[in-house]
């Protein structure tokens, strides 16, 4: 496992660079759930479990942590990629070889140690590799679930990312942060759930080392991220065909909107004027004969 070597000044500079790249590449950034996540970050460490669909994801995660959540962010990264791009370690990336069980165990413990105080955030791309955002099932690995089992103080938030071309030159970035994912009930809690007082007592009395069903936790996290991706899909459908971009689209508010190019718009209108026919066109058939205008 490769530990993070976070450097405060480099992190601030590179996060600003990431924001600049995002604002330059995307026509709009629309987000949902950012305010609630920021408030929760002040109360507890955050484990943010996200889908992984694009080269842009690490830059988006850095920008979201630094500028939208105001959190001290870290992220799990493929060890081979981190060796190729070592500067990501300076902004909080730690590397893990997904094919080595011992490496995975060390990374889980490392992530759990990071999640020891409010204001900290650890991002996990639970698919382990880039996959299309509309692929179902998402195919989450168990790493994020194992971290959630160990980092008992952390709140687990599902995050969905999607990049979408619409009726404009540049694509839109959609970000949805959902409600905290509740840990599935253990066998003892399931038996007690028939009586609310017993269920609450079971949660309180459960020792910190009590095991949880890792597969159930993994499935709950995957289901929560899938729900946020579906939410984005519905918002895209509602925004389709709407003139301009409303401030609020099904709970998504745009936090960045690129200004249209005045030069480009003027050039477009000028070309349209120059190429507009001055008189009705008469269709011609092959050979130069005039076509039937009826």
* pLDDT at 212 (0 to 100): 53
292: which 2 tokens?
């039937």
Alpha-carbon distances of 259 from 24, 170, 221, 246, rounded to whole Å: 10, 11, 37, 15
Residues 109-137 have a mean pLDDT of 97
All residues at 6 or more sequence positions from 36 whose CB lies less than 8 Å from its CB, including other chains: 177, 179
Is 121 in contact with 72 (CB distance < 8 Å)? yes
* pLDDT at 209 (0 to 100): 38
Average predicted confidence (pLDDT) for the chain: 86
Is 67 in contact with 19 (CB distance < 8 Å)? yes
Is 43 in contact with 118 (CB distance < 8 Å)? yes
Q: What is the DSSP letter of 10?
A: H
80: which 2 tokens?
């081979």
Q: H helices within 45-135, ranges in order?
A: 57-63, 79-84, 101-114
Query: Exposed, middle or buried: residue 172 (CB in 10 Å: 0-12, 13-18, 19+)?
Result: buried
* pLDDT at 210 (0 to 100): 38
Q: H helices within 90-207, ranges in order?
A: 101-114, 143-150, 187-192, 196-205
The angle at the Cα of 287, spanning 284 to 293, to the nearest 5 degrees, equals 25
Band (241; pLDDT cuts 50, 70, 90): low
Separation of CA 151 from chain center:
21
* pLDDT at 165 (0 to 100): 92
CA 69/CA 12 separation, integer angstroms: 14
Q: Is the pLDDT of residue 113 over 50?
A: yes
Residues 3-18 have a mean pLDDT of 97
Band (291; pLDDT cuts 50, 70, 90): low
Percent of the chain with pLDDT over 90: 68
Beta strand ranges found along the chain (DSSP E) = 28-32, 46-50, 72-78, 93-96, 120-125, 155-164, 172-177, 248-249, 252-257
């Amino acid at each position: 496992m490769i530990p993070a070597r976070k450097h405060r000044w480099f992190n601030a500079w590179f996060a600003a660079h990431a924001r600049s790249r995002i604002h330059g590449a995307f026509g709009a950034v629309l987000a949902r759930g950012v305010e609630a996540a920021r408030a929760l970050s002040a109360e507890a460490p955050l484990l943010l479990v996200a889908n992984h669909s694009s080269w842009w994801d690490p830059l988006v995660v850095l920008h979201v942590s630094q500028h939208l959540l105001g959190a001290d962010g870290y992220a799990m990264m493929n060890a081979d990629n981190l060796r190729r791009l070592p500067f990501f370690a300076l902004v909080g990336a730690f590397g893990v070889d997904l094919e080595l069980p011992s490496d995975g165990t060390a990374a889980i413990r490392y992530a759990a140690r990071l999640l020891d105080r409010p204001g900290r955030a650890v991002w996990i791309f639970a698919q382990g590799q880039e996959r299309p955002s509309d692929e179902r099932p998402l195919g989450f690995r168990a790493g994020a679930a194992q971290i959630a089992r160990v980092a008992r103080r952390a709140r687990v938030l599902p995050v969905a990312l999607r990049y979408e071309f619409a009726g404009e030159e540049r694509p839109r970035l959609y970000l949805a942060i959902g409600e905290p994912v509740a840990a599935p009930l253990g066998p003892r809690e399931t038996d007690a759930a028939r009586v609310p007082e017993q269920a609450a007592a079971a949660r309180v009395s459960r020792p910190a080392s009590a095991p949880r069903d890792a597969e159930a936790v993994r499935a709950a996290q995957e289901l929560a991220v899938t729900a946020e991706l579906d939410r984005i899909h519905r918002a895209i459908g509602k925004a389709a065909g709407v003139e301009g971009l409303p401030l609020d689209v099904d709970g998504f508010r745009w936090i960045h909107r690129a200004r249209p190019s005045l030069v480009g718009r003027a050039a477009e209108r000028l070309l349209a004027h120059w190429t507009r026919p001055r008189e009705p066109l008469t269709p011609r058939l092959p050979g130069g004969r005039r076509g039937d205008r009826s």
